[in-house]
A and B are shown apart, each in its own frame.
Chain A
Amino acid sequence: MIQRWVYRPWTAFALMLLIPALVACGGAASPHAPTAAASLTTTAPTSTGGELSGQLTIAGSSALLPLIQEAANQFQTKNPKVQITVTAGGSGAGRTQVCEGKIDIGNSDVPISDAEKTKLNCPDAQGVAVAIQAFDVVANKQGPGTVTNLTKVQMMDIFSGKITSWKDVGGDDTPIVLVNRAKGSGTRANMAKFLFDGDDALFAAGASEEDNNETVKQTVAQTPGAISYLGFAYLSDPSLLAFSLDGVAPNKSDIKAGKWLIGGPGYAITKGAPAPLAKAFLDFVTSAEFQGGATFDKLGFVAVK
């Protein structure tokens, strides 16, 4: 005969909560460390037949995003047991998160500097160049008028706020609406390197600090008089006007020939030597097959070799 108090709702409830709680805590505690590690790092590929499996998390530069996303798609088609997540967030966020161990690979438009390695406490960070990127200054079609070419000095003056109207560069009488990127952006860093020799403080405050290339593209496309800068993969929007720089047109042949001055390699950064799955992916991205494939052409990147 079970005692009466067992039947009381309180006791039954306590029992019912206690058991799952114990199971959860016990179950979570032991695999907690390895599962946490497993979800952050990659699992080793099985040795038989070299079939890869596991999960990869990649984040960072929005300029590199289309390239890495397409590479991830192709890689996953070849290796059905692999799952790769690619998001943006900015080159700065990419470098920080990979050093924290939150993601496996961080995409960045600029290499990770020694100062940053010390500050983020990952002295063994390694970067692999995955593509040559180009950036260009773009504007809304309303404003520049017939101007399609800007000199470097004009660009410097516009972005530092000295020129505030399109008519000062030969366009219509429309005020210039400066759309900037947030400070962690590698795209912005590349522009600062070209315009101001890396002195980011010379950028004017601007109308906004957009989060990534896509919002910049949309904002510039919709705002008359707007001007900003984008990675090449985003220049295809017909409502944008991509400027020539000192007479050099923004097309692939000029980039390949080295005539285009704004840009540089884009990097995939890992904390220390990449784990096997990450290494396999990076090998694929830098392979001749992918670098010479149709994606590079379609998206506007230049092969790294």
Chain B
Amino acid sequence: MRLRQGVLAQSIFFTAAAIVAISTAALLLFTGSRGLAVFSFMGPGEFFLGTSWNQNDQTFGVLPLLLGSLLTVGLTLLISGPLALGVAIFMVEIAPDPVRRVMRTVVELFAALPSVIYGLLGLTLVVPWVRVITGGGLGKGILAAVIVLVFMTQPTMVSIAEDALRALPESLREGALAVGATRWQMIWRVLLPAARPGLITAVVLGTGRAVGETIAVQMVIGNITSRLPESLVRGATTMPAAIVTQLPEATSPEHRAALIMVAFLLLLITFGLIAAVRAAGAIGSPRRPTRRRRLTPTARPAAAKGAIDV
């Protein structure tokens, strides 16, 4: 009786776990198959190299979306990465305990904010500010999206970087300070190189979040898909923004298939980023073989006699 109950329980739990696995496979399968159907309407060259995505002309070149995503995410990384690193270093090494606890609460709250609120503030604060700075125009564009994204990716990057730094053994710090390094020298020359895999993970996962962010970007980027992004302050688009704007009102089977293909590309890019994280983690961790030390002249005779280890 108990055995049967136990085995039944195990089967149920296994089913639950298998559902998760199957869902991932289904996600890839369905998005991929419906997306690849776009190539029955147009050739890959037209799709991947076309510079205009215009549902009214039924031309679906994906370059404006790809370039928009690339520019937006790239700029976001450049600003957000160092910033997150700095905040993480501050939280782990420099801040006194109460400040650290407050900062951690702040970062967690930041993470919990819905993206539509970021978008709303982007519309009401960032876009007018960009407009004032660039002296006219709409204000919506890649610049506004980058500003909003920098704040949105902070929590992810900061918390992972913080974990990476905290996981470093105390002996590293003690060793560095013992030979006379200042705190910053210890951080810059010892801790950061040692934590490199974790820091790279933080940055890559933050990038993943930036690539996939939909609503906040869509509200401030201007949503022009019909041409390549012209400048940082004229309307542009990113892949997720285009999907959420156009899919509910898709005008034809080609349009729908093209949009699903864009979603599939997004999926592949995200998986690629995850693979990069794993690869970076694998590169950082194997220990470098210890090399023979160079001996000072005074030490040579001692080493030759076997008194010092080499």
Whether the pair B8, A12 counts as a contact (CB closer than 8 A) is yes
The verdict on B185 contacting chain A, using a C-beta distance below 8 Å, is no
- A87's partner among B55, B223, B234, B249 (CB-CB below 8 A) is B249
The verdict on B182 contacting chain A, using a C-beta distance below 8 Å, is no
The verdict on A288 contacting chain B, using a C-beta distance below 8 Å, is no
Q: Which residues 47-93 of B sit at the A interface, judged by CB distance below 8 A?
A: 54-57
Q: How near does chain B come to A111, taking the closest CB pair, in angstroms?
A: 18
Q: How near does chain B come to A276, taking the closest CB pair, in angstroms?
A: 26
Whether the pair B14, A13 counts as a contact (CB closer than 8 A) is yes
* A208 partner residues in chain B, CB cutoff 8 A: 138, 140, 222, 224, 234-235
The verdict on A37 contacting chain B, using a C-beta distance below 8 Å, is no
The verdict on A231 contacting chain B, using a C-beta distance below 8 Å, is no
Residue interface bits B230-262, CB-to-A below 8 A is 1, else 0: 000011000000000100110111000000000
* With A175-B136, A208-B222, A223-B137: A97-B11 Cβ-Cβ less than 8 Å: no
* B10 partner residues in chain A, CB cutoff 8 A: 9
The verdict on A177 contacting chain B, using a C-beta distance below 8 Å, is yes
Residue interface bits A71-113, CB-to-B below 8 A is 1, else 0: 0000000000000000111101100110010000000000000
Whether the pair A12, B11 counts as a contact (CB closer than 8 A) is yes
- Complex: how many Å from CA A196 to CA B292? 83
**CB-based nearest B residue for A175:** B136
Pick from A13, A92, A183 the residue with the most CB of B within 10 Å: A13
Q: How many A-B residue pairs have CB under 8 A?
A: 83
Q: How near does chain A come to B225, taking the closest CB pair, in angstroms?
A: 9
The verdict on B291 contacting chain A, using a C-beta distance below 8 Å, is no
**CB-based nearest B residue for A208:** B235
* With A184-B56, A224-B136: A209-B7 Cβ-Cβ less than 8 Å: no
The count of residues in chain B whose C-beta lies closer than 8 Å to any C-beta of chain A is 33
The verdict on A182 contacting chain B, using a C-beta distance below 8 Å, is yes
- Complex: how many Å from CA A90 to CA B55? 11
* A17 partner residues in chain B, CB cutoff 8 A: 15, 18
Residue interface bits B8-25, CB-to-A below 8 A is 1, else 0: 101110110010000000
The verdict on B131 contacting chain A, using a C-beta distance below 8 Å, is yes
* B281 partner residues in chain A, CB cutoff 8 A: none
- B18's partner among A13, A90, A209, A211 (CB-CB below 8 A) is A13
**CB-based nearest B residue for A184:** B56
Q: How near does chain A come to B205, taking the closest CB pair, in angstroms?
A: 32
* B140 partner residues in chain A, CB cutoff 8 A: 208
* B223 partner residues in chain A, CB cutoff 8 A: 211
The verdict on B155 contacting chain A, using a C-beta distance below 8 Å, is no
The verdict on A35 contacting chain B, using a C-beta distance below 8 Å, is no
* A177 partner residues in chain B, CB cutoff 8 A: 136-138
Whether the pair B54, A225 counts as a contact (CB closer than 8 A) is no
Whether the pair B8, A97 counts as a contact (CB closer than 8 A) is no
* A59 partner residues in chain B, CB cutoff 8 A: 249
Q: How near does chain B come to A139, taking the closest CB pair, in angstroms?
A: 14
- Complex: how many Å from CA A209 to CA B14? 51
* With A209-B224, A222-B128: A9-B251 Cβ-Cβ less than 8 Å: no
- B11's partner among A9, A184, A209 (CB-CB below 8 A) is A9
The verdict on B293 contacting chain A, using a C-beta distance below 8 Å, is no
* B248 partner residues in chain A, CB cutoff 8 A: 87, 89
Q: Which residues 203-238 of A sit at the B interface, judged by CB distance below 8 A?
A: 207-209, 211, 219, 222-226
**CB-based nearest B residue for A17:** B15
**CB-based nearest B residue for A4:** B7
- Complex: how many Å from CA A183 to CA B226? 10
* B54 partner residues in chain A, CB cutoff 8 A: 183
* A88 partner residues in chain B, CB cutoff 8 A: 249
- Complex: how many Å from CA A9 to CA B6? 11
* With A92-B56, A183-B56, A208-B222: A223-B8 Cβ-Cβ less than 8 Å: no
Q: How near does chain A come to B143, taking the closest CB pair, in angstroms?
A: 15
Q: Which residues 1-46 of A sit at the B interface, judged by CB distance below 8 A?
A: 7, 9-10, 12-13, 16-17
Residue interface bits B115-150, CB-to-A below 8 A is 1, else 0: 000000000000110010000111110000000000
The verdict on B287 contacting chain A, using a C-beta distance below 8 Å, is no
Given contact pairs A93-B249, A184-B251, enumerate 15 new A-B contacts (beta carbons under 8 Å): A7-B11, A9-B10, A12-B12, A16-B11, A16-B12, A16-B15, A87-B248, A88-B249, A97-B251, A182-B226, A208-B222, A208-B235, A209-B224, A211-B223, A223-B131
**Chain A interface residues toward B at CB < 8 A:** 7, 9-10, 12-13, 16-17, 59, 87-90, 92-93, 96-97, 100, 174-175, 177, 179, 182-184, 207-209, 211, 219, 222-226
